[in-house]
Amino acid sequence: MKKKLVAGNWKMNGTLEANDALVRAVAAGVKDASCLVAVCVPAPYLAQVQMLKAGTPLELGAQDVSPHAQGAYTGEVSAAMLREFGVRYAIVGHSERRQYHGESDALVAEKAKTALASGITPIVCVGETLAEREAGRTEDVVKRQMAAVIHVNGHCISEIVVAYEPVWAIGTGKTATPEQAQQVHALLRKQLAAATEHAERVHILYGGSMNAANAATLLAQPDIDGGLIGGASLKSADFLQIVAAANAASR
């Protein structure tokens, strides 16, 4: 059984003082973790968190990456820059990026490609809106989003991480039932299996309001390999409870 992966997404939150307390608490709490743990932080805090996590198993992640290697792209951050700060993971295609910044499936696929080329594991987010779910389009939407990434990165698709994040369950307090989540995760696993013989190697995370209360039941599902954690990642006690559930499920 592969280890579960718990990745915190701080989104646009944090201060130097708050980060210090949060990362020290999380780093201390994961020293003996049997699962993989990462925090994906705003770009200005990468250097701070890199230093705070030094000597611990805690991995560092970014919340986005440019599809460009370098050049006149004001405000963008390249994969090579992220690597200089020891970044291990980069979230690409988060629903908030798709919704507020108009990111297309094709752009998400290119960002994943750029991350992989620099030795960074992209956490590729896919998921449907409430309207799409109610219209019975969940399968079509997530398969379309995943297909774009497979098309561009098929030769190394087993090196990515996938996060299923039903948009209607992000920051709303609503959560897909374990059965609903498992159904989509199994669909994604099957789609990956058609593209690589190493589909079982791919971590498929659940990213729709996983919290300390529901983590254990979600992580017990056969195709849920961890969580992409939003609000709960900003509270060390809650985040570490999810890590504890992942530890138990990793054994």
Task: Map tokens 């920051």 to a residue.
Answer: 171
Concerning whether 68 is annotated as a catalytic residue, the answer is no
> Domains in the chain: how many in total?
1
Q: What is the pLDDT of residue 16?
A: 98
Given a contact cutoff of 8 angstroms between Cβ atoms, the answer to whether 63 and 94 are in contact is yes
What's the CATH code of the domain at 55?
3.20.20.70
Angle at 71 between CA 69 and CA 72, to 5 degrees: 140
Domain of 152 in residue numbering reads as 5-250
What is d(CA 201, CA 164) in angstroms, rounded to the nearest whole number?
Answer: 16
Per annotation, catalytic residue among 94, 103, 128, 132: 94
Pairing of strands 161-164, 203-206: parallel
Per annotation, catalytic residue among 59, 110, 128, 165: 165
Q: What is the pLDDT of residue 47?
A: 98
* pTM exceeding the 0.75 threshold for the entire prediction: yes
Q: What is the pLDDT of residue 82?
A: 98
Concerning whether 94 is annotated as a catalytic residue, the answer is yes
Q: What is the pLDDT of residue 209?
A: 85
Model confidence over 3-56: pLDDT tens digits? 999 999 999 999 999 999 999 999 999 999 999 999 999 999 999 999 999 999
Q: Report the mean per-residue pLDDT for the chain.
A: 96
Q: Which residues of the chain have pLDDT under 50?
A: none
